[in-house]
Structure 1
Amino acid sequence: MAFSLGPRAASAGYRLAVFDRIGSTNAEALARARAGETGPIWLVAAEQTAGHGRRQRSWISPRGNLACSVLEVIDTSPAVAATLSFAAGLALEAALRTVSLEARMRSPGSENVTFHLKWPNDVLAGGGKLAGVLLEAETVAPDRLAVVVGTGANVAAAPEGMPYPAASLRDIGIDIGAEDLFGALTDAWAEFRIVWDKGRGFGEIRRLWLERAAGVGQHVSIRSDSSTISGLFDTIDKDGCLIVVTSDGRRVAVSAGDVYFGAAASVGAT
């Protein structure tokens, strides 16, 4: 089965570049933007050898897993563009639900799996990290940003030796291919990209994201470099910052960091 756009993405004017093997789909998308590519275009690879996540952490995607990026050139500020990552998380969660349902229809009796969004950019399932989103942006003209949203998903296998639990779709009983997830993702992206509407629809994106979020109302610790903030995960604000209510009643807005929930929160804080 070959990678292809979903029908909604194709009708919305997205184009597609497919690679057998590549260092990083995000890096390739940014290079194309610097060379004048304006998108919208999806880039997907059967194998990614030099991908990365937040804080330059390695994200290698072997064959069978999904590594892809979408390039959009938009006229908005970097701060507003950053909220597009929440639309990307919603699109990824929706795509995972779609392929999960399709897998259950093919194999009646398969377990119903619930996916949760972990701030700021992960999808959890089966007790581990299943997928992640990385947004990168560069100015390519006055008031024009090349925004690249990369997605990595553990379809066939989860990495070992990670500092956090990881899961794959195969681990949790969902037998689909990376090509299936990619097609569903491109269609879901086309939908949530319209809802986001250059940031004007972030209020709705925020509402939908919170409905699917992991850990709301629970104890949480966020570690960023040398500092740690602990308290209750209350919400995300209009800028996408995580709002933590500390033990002394302060409401603290956190813009970046590694999140730990529940029992793991005390471990993450050490």
Structure 2
Amino acid sequence: MPRLTSGTDFQLFDTLDSTSLEAKRQVEAGENGPRWIVALTQTGGYGRRGRAWEQRTGDFAGSLFFEPAGPAENLGQVSFIVALALAETLEEFTSAEKIKLKWPNDVLIDGAKCAGILLENLGAHLAIGIGVNMVTAPEGMPYPTTRLMDHSDELPEPAAFAEILDTHFWRIYKEWREQGFEPIRQQWLSSAAGVFEEITVRLPNEELKGVFAGLDETGALELRLAEGKRTIAAGEVFFTAPGKKS
């Protein structure tokens, strides 16, 4: 099986239902990873809460699965590691000033969503699903979308993109393992969209409007409300400040 520079296995498929589902199948079959699964075409991709993720040939669809180290309660922090790695990868193809990170798991270019991240716990394994709009900007979404080709003169092939992303990911992952979450938290906040601006956070049973005050030591969002600060572990963020959209 081909391997990337880091030694991570790399599998490229012409077509899959979902790279995340294939990761699950391989883990269930006894594979341990670390392994990238990348599909040129994905027919049943999905994101958070099982929502369909539109992906066409030319877009990047990949999943990395491996056996993570550290306490299970800290594994949600890996999404911030992936976001930083994705941002650094995209910076090789477009201006760094255009790229912002949106809590909890999106990467924006010029304020519009270009990439998404999905973490799934597979028992002793963690699967990280990543979708990047290279040639497709999905329509009809409740937030603006964009594609890399509108911001870059060069579009990488999937294997080349995975190689760059893999390198950045393992370097930042090693930093997290050695130094903890605080350096990651600070790096993420330095590139975050909407910090100290008014946002709306949609929760299962309520919708809150307040000021995005930062992240706590676990990666939860801190929302400043009129009655005080509230910490939110999971939710959907929509930007409500002038000139901003979700």
TM-score where L is the length of structure 1: 0.84
Alpha-carbon distance between aligned partners in 2 of 1:89 and 1:177, rounded to the nearest angstrom: 18
* 1:192-231 alignment, distance < 5 Å: 192-197=172-177, 201-231=180-210
- Residue 49 of structure 1 aligns with an amino acid whose one-letter code is T
Superposition deviation, residue 99 in structure 1: 2.5
The verdict on how the C-alpha distance between 1:237 and 1:173 changes in structure 2, with shifts beyond 3 A counting, is: same
Alpha-carbon distance between aligned partners in 2 of 1:192 and 1:70, rounded to the nearest angstrom: 15
Alpha-carbon distance between aligned partners in 1 of 2:198 and 2:241, rounded to the nearest angstrom: 8
Equivalenced residues, count: 244
The verdict on how the C-alpha distance between 1:234 and 1:178 changes in structure 2, with shifts beyond 3 A counting, is: farther
Alpha-carbon distance between aligned partners in 1 of 2:241 and 2:49, rounded to the nearest angstrom: 24
* 1:163-174 alignment, distance < 5 Å: 163-174=142-153
Which deviates more from structure 2 when the two are superposed, residues 41-50 or residues 255-264? 255-264
Task: For CA contacts below 8 A with separation 6 or more, give which structure has more relative contact order.
Answer: 1
Q: Note if 1:21 corresponds to 2:15.
A: yes
Whether the 8 Å CA contact 1:46–1:66 is kept in 2: the answer is yes
Superposition deviation, residue 113 in structure 1: 5.1
* 1:136-151 alignment, distance < 5 Å: 136-139=120-123, 145-151=124-130
Whether the 8 Å CA contact 1:221–1:265 is kept in 2: the answer is no
Superposition deviation, residue 162 in structure 1: 1.5
Whether the 8 Å CA contact 1:132–1:153 is kept in 2: the answer is yes
CA deviation string 1:216-242 (max 9, x = no partner): 100011001231122111111111100
SS, match of residue 208 in structure 1:
helix
* 1:49-128 alignment, distance < 5 Å: 49-100=43-94, 114-128=98-112
Corresponding position of 1:34 = 28
Which deviates more from structure 2 when the two are superposed, residues 81-90 or residues 254-263? 254-263
Whether the 8 Å CA contact 1:157–1:171 is kept in 2: the answer is no
The verdict on how the C-alpha distance between 1:264 and 1:51 changes in structure 2, with shifts beyond 3 A counting, is: farther
Superposition deviation, residue 267 in structure 1: 9.2
Superposition deviation, residue 157 in structure 1: 1.7
- Residue 163 of structure 2 aligns with an amino acid whose one-letter code is G
- Shift >6 Å, 4+ stretches: 264-268
SS, match of residue 184 in structure 1:
helix
Whether the 8 Å CA contact 2:94–2:151 is kept in 1: the answer is no
TM-score where L is the length of structure 2: 0.92
CA deviation string 1:74-124 (max 9, x = no partner): 2443321111111000000000002226xxxxxxxxxx7520000000001
- Residue 118 of structure 1 aligns with an amino acid whose one-letter code is K
Corresponding position of 2:161 = 181
Whether the 8 Å CA contact 1:99–1:184 is kept in 2: the answer is no
- Residue 177 of structure 2 aligns with an amino acid whose one-letter code is D
Which deviates more from structure 2 when the two are superposed, residues 175-184 or residues 90-99? 175-184
Superposition deviation, residue 13 in structure 1: 1.9
| Percent identical | 34
Q: Which consecutive unaligned segments of at least 5 residues does structure 2 have?
A: none
Please give the root-mean-square deviation of Cα atoms over the aligned residues, in Å. Answer: 2.2
Alpha-carbon distance between aligned partners in 2 of 1:263 and 1:213, rounded to the nearest angstrom: 15
Whether the 8 Å CA contact 2:100–2:111 is kept in 1: the answer is no
